[in-house]
Structure 1
Amino acid sequence: MGKIRIENIRVYANHGCLREEGLIGSDYLVTIEVLANLREAALSDKLADTVDYVHINHIVKEEMEIKSKLLEHVGNRIIDRVFRELDAVDEISITVSKVNPPIGGDVEMVTIELNKKRS
């Protein structure tokens, strides 16, 4: 078993419950960690034998383009799509952070974290 982590994927998106958030948008950071059997890839040195992190980055960017009111919702969509498209992934942990959230205070970011095992 091994881990692949893609940290702080930067995207601009329009998530949020407030009308202004959907219009103006905000900066987001997404970190995703997947657990998979990486033994074969470690020996073969072939991309086909591992989890392609370029593919994961592509999934994150595409799913972040689809508006959601809640970060939990977009995070769950990303998880479900990774499981659908990448059979080698056994477990996923994801954080989705909204940078400078409009919550009436001096807050750098708000972050949700989801974890899921393949069923």
Structure 2
Amino acid sequence: MGTIAIEGMQFYAYHGYYKEERKKGNYFMVDVYLDLDFAKAGQDDAIQHTVNYEKVYAVCVRRMQKTHKLLETVCVQIAEQLHRKYPEVKKTRVRISKLHPPLSGPSQRFYVEHSIKRKMSKHKDLSF
């Protein structure tokens, strides 16, 4: 089992609960962690046996371009789309950070994180 991680994808987007946040926009950072067995890709050096991180990035771009009030919404949508797209991934974890959020005091970032773990099949192979 291994992890493919894409950290620090940066976006300027228009997410926020308050109308002013959605109008003005802010900087966001997205991190994606995908747990899977990529031993076959490690042996045969073939991208079709692993996750293409350019395609992961493209999913994040499309989702970040759509405006939402809650980062939780965007985070869940990215995680669910990646989890559906890559059935070989055992666990998907997505973190979205809003940099320098509009709070009454200084703050470096606020983030939400969502994980999805693939359910293992309960069926046993009974073939002889």
- TM-score, normalised relative to structure 2: 0.89
Identify the residue that residue 43 of structure 1 maps to in structure 2.
43
Q: How does 1:79-118 map to 2 (within 5 A)?
A: 79-118=79-118
Task: Please give the residue correspondences for 1:10-21 in structure 2 after superposition, counting only pairs within 5 Å.
Answer: 10-21=10-21
> 1:58 is matched with which residue?
58
Q: Secondary structure at the residue paired with 2:90?
A: strand
Give the residue type in structure 2 aligned to 1:64: M
Distance 1:64 1:82 in 2: 14
Give me the whole-angstrom Cα distance separating, in 1, the residues matched to 2:64 and 2:81: 12
- Please report how far the alpha carbon of residue 21 of structure 1 lies from its aligned counterpart in structure 2 after TM superposition: 0.9
The one-letter amino acid of 2:105's match is G
CA-based RMSD? 0.9
State the shift of 1:58 in Å.
Answer: 0.7
Q: Residue 109 of structure 1 aligns to which amino acid in structure 2?
A: R
- The answer for unaligned runs of 5 or more in structure 1 is none
Following superposition, the deviation at residue 94 of structure 1 comes to 1.4
Counterpart of 1:23? 23
Runs of 4+ aligned residues of structure 1 deviating over 2 Å after TM superposition are: none
- Which structure 2 residue ranges, 5 or more long, are not aligned? 120-128
1:73 matches 2:73? yes
Tell me how far apart the structure 2 counterparts of residues 87 and 116 of structure 1 sit (CA, whole Å). 12
Structure 1 position 70, deviation (Å): 1.1
Length-normalised TM-score, structure 1: 0.95
Q: Is the 8 A contact 2:92 2:117 kept in 1?
A: yes
Q: Sequence identity, in percent? A: 29
CA offsets 1:46-91 (integer angstroms, 9 cap, x no match): 1111111111111011111111111111000001110121222111
**Which structure: larger Rg?**
2
Query: How many corresponding residue pairs?
Result: 119
Report the residue type matching 2:3 in the other structure.
K
